[in-house]
Structure 1
Amino acid sequence: MQMQQANSRFEQLLSSQGERRKKDPPTYEGKFGEDLELWIFATEEYYANKRGIMEADTSDFVTMISSSLGKSVLNWYRAFSSDCDATGMPKTWQLFKTKLRKRFRPKDFEYNLRERLFQLKQHGTIHEYVSSFQDLMSQSELDISEMEKRFYFQNGLRAETAKKVKELSPRFLHEVIEIATNF
C-alpha cells in the first residue's frame, strides 16, 4: 500500500512538472543595440502554441505580451494602444511589429546592417565568424540574394580561406560556410 501511494505521488509530481510554465517570456527593453528581430523570433517561438491568437485580427496577443516590455517600450506601447483605441483599429501582432520596428530600429537600419556585414572580419575561429555573420543576417527583414550573402561572407574571411572559396565558386551560402569550415 505504501509503495502504491509513493508511486501515485511520483506520477502526480511528474504530471505537475509538465504543466509548469516554461521559463519567463522574452523581454524587450528597447535599448540601443538590442536585437529586436531576435526578440520577435523568441516571442513567436515562446508562444508557438498560441499561434491562433497571434495571427488573429484581434488585440488579444499583443495585450498578452505587453507585460514583457521594458519601461521605455511600455511607454511607447501605451501611446500605440491609445492610438489604436482612438481609431478603432485592433492591436494585431502584425501591426504591433511594424510600428515597433518603425519606432525602435534606426532609420537606416537595413543600410547600416549591410555596412556591418561588409565590415565584419574573421578574427577568431571560423565558427565564431559564422555565428557573428548569421547573427547579423538574421536581423534583416529584406531578402538578400545568395550571391550577396556569399559576397559578404567571403569578404570577411581570412585571405587564404576566401581564395579557396573563390576557386570552388559555390552558389549558396551554406556551401560557402561548409568550404570555409572544412578548409
Structure 2
Amino acid sequence: MSGSNVEETSEQTRGREAEPTARGRGRGKKDTSRDVVANMEARLAKVELAMADTREGVDLIEQGMEKGLEDLREQIQDLREGVLVSQVQPVSHEEFMSFQDKVMSMFANAVSARVMATHEAPRVEVPKPHTFSGKRDAKELDNFLWHMERYFEAIALTDEATKVRTATLYLTDNATLWWRRRFADIERGTCTIDTWDAFKREIKRQFYPEDVAYLARKSLKRLKHTGSIREYVKEFSTLMLEIPNMAEEELLFNFMDNLQSWAEQELRRRGVQDLATAMAVAESLVDYRRGDSSKPKPPSKGNQAKGGGDKRSQGHTSKEGSSKGPSGKDGKGKDKRKEFTPRTNCFLVRWSALGTGLP
C-alpha cells in the first residue's frame, strides 16, 4: 500500500510540473500568432498606401494625357486652319471685299428707302363703309359685306371678334334691331357669333331674300328691248349680277336675243363675241341714233308760216300782214289760213275724188 501511495504522489507531482510547461507553450503560440497578425496588418497597410499612391499617380498621368491630347487637338486645328487660310486667302480676299461692298450698298439703299417711305409717303385716308339698314335686297347686303371686308384689309384688322364688333357699328334701322336681339341671345349664352363667317351667315339668314338667282333668271327671260336701249342694258346688267353661276355664252345669247331686230342685226354685223363688247356696242348705237334725231330738220313752208323759219321770213310775213290788215293779228290770222288752206284743199280733193269715183 505504501508503494501505491508513493506512485500516486509521484504522479501528482509530475502533473503539477507538467501544467506550467503546457501553459508556457500555449502562451508562446498566442504571442507568435499575434506577431504574425500584426506583421500582416502592417504589410497590408503598406500595400494600401502604395496602391493609393499608385492610384494618384495614375490619375495624374491620365489628367496629363487628357490635357496633352486636348492641346494636341487644338494645335492640329490651328494648323489646319492656318493651312486653309494660307491657301484660300490670296483668292478670297478680293471676293470678300467685293461682297462687303455689295452688302454695304444694299444696306444703304434699304436705309434710304425706309427714310423716304417714312418721311415722304402720304397718309392714305381709308373711307368709311356704307351702312346697312336691313333692306331685304341681295345687292345691298352683298355690297355691304364686301365693303366691310375691304375696310378690314385697309386698316389691317385680323381679329375675328373685333371684325364683328366693327361691322355692327354700321347697322341701322331694322338691322340694328336684329343685332340687338342677337346680342341679347349671345349674353344669355343661347348662341355664339364671334367670327366674321358666323356674322355673315346669320345676317344673310335674316336679310338675304330667297331664290334670288331663280327670280332673276325669270326676270331676265321676260326682259325685252321695248324702250330705250340704254335702259335695257342697265336692267340687263342688274339682273345679270344677281345670277352668279350663269355662263358667259348664255348671257350673251339672252342679251342679243331680247334686242330689237335692227339692234341685233347691227351687233351681228359687227361680230361681237363677248357680253362686255355687246353692251358697249349697243350703247354706242343709242348714242348714234340720238345724235341723228337731234339734228335740225330743214324748215318747210308750213314751219316758216308758223314762225319756224328765219327772222327775215318772219319779218316779211309780218309786214305783209300789216299791209293787208288793220293790225298784226289779222296778218297772223292770214298766215294761219295760208297754212291751213293746203290741208283743206287736199281734204277737198280727196273727198271729191271719193265722190266722183276718180282715182
SS at match of 2:169: helix
1:40 and 2:145 are equivalent in the alignment: yes
Deviation at residue 32 of structure 1 after TM alignment: 4.3
What is aligned with 1:137? Answer: 240
Query: Deviations for 1:37-95, whole angstroms, at most 9, x for unmatched residues?
Result: 23233333444404652xx5x22112102111112112222344455673674532233
Q: Does 1:162 align with 2:264?
A: yes
| Shift in Å, 1:114 | 1.6
Query: 1:104–1:84: structure 2 CA closer, same or farther, 3 Å change rule?
Result: same
CA contact (8 A) 1:146 1:171 kept: no
Between structure 1 and structure 2, the one with the greater Rg is 2
Q: How high is the TM-score relative to the length of structure 1?
A: 0.66
Match of 1:116 in 2: 219
Q: Aligned partner of 2:130: which letter?
A: P
Partner of 1:14: none
Q: CA deviation at 1:28?
A: 0.9
* Match runs of 1:66-77 below 5 Å: 66-77=168-179
Matched with 2:283 is 181
In 2: Cα distance, 1:35 partner to 1:158 partner: 31
Equivalent residue letter for 2:149 = E
Pairing partner for 1:100 from 189, 200, 203? 203
Q: How far apart, in 2, do the equivalents of 1:51 and 1:149 lie?
A: 38
Q: Is the 1:28–1:70 Cα contact (8 Å) retained in structure 2?
A: yes
Partner of 1:26: 130
**Normalising to structure 2: TM-score of the pair?**
0.38
Amino acid in the other structure paired with 2:238: D
Picking from 43, 63, 67, the partner of 2:165 is 63
The one-character-per-residue Cα deviations of 1:3-33 (angstroms, maximum 9, x if unpaired) are xxxxxxxxxxxxxx957663x4301112244
Stretch of structure 1 that moved more, 33-42 or 164-173: 164-173
RMSD: 3.4
CA distance in 1, matches of 2:184, 2:257: 47
Tell me the percent identity.
24
Amino acid across the alignment from 1:109: V
* Partner Cα distance (1:176, 1:26) in 2: 32
Structure 1 CA distance, aligned partners of 2:254 and 2:156? 34
Change in 2 beyond 3 A, CA 1:88/1:29: closer
| Alpha-carbon distance in structure 1 between the residues aligned to 2:281 and 2:240 | 19
Q: What does residue 78 of structure 1 align with?
A: 180
Q: State the 1:158 CA deviation.
A: 3.0
Deviations 1:80-137 (A, max 9, x none): 44556736745322332232222212222211122232333442243x4333333333
Unpaired segments ≥5 residues, structure 2: 1-121, 286-359
1:101 is aligned with what amino acid? K
Instruction: Point out where structure 1 has 5 or more consecutive residues left out of the alignment.
Output: 1-16
CA–CA separation in structure 2 for the residues paired with 1:64 and 1:27: 12
Structure 1 stretches of 4+ moved >4 Å: 17-21, 81-85, 87-90, 166-171
* Distance in 2 between residues matched to 1:40 and 1:59, nearest whole Å: 16
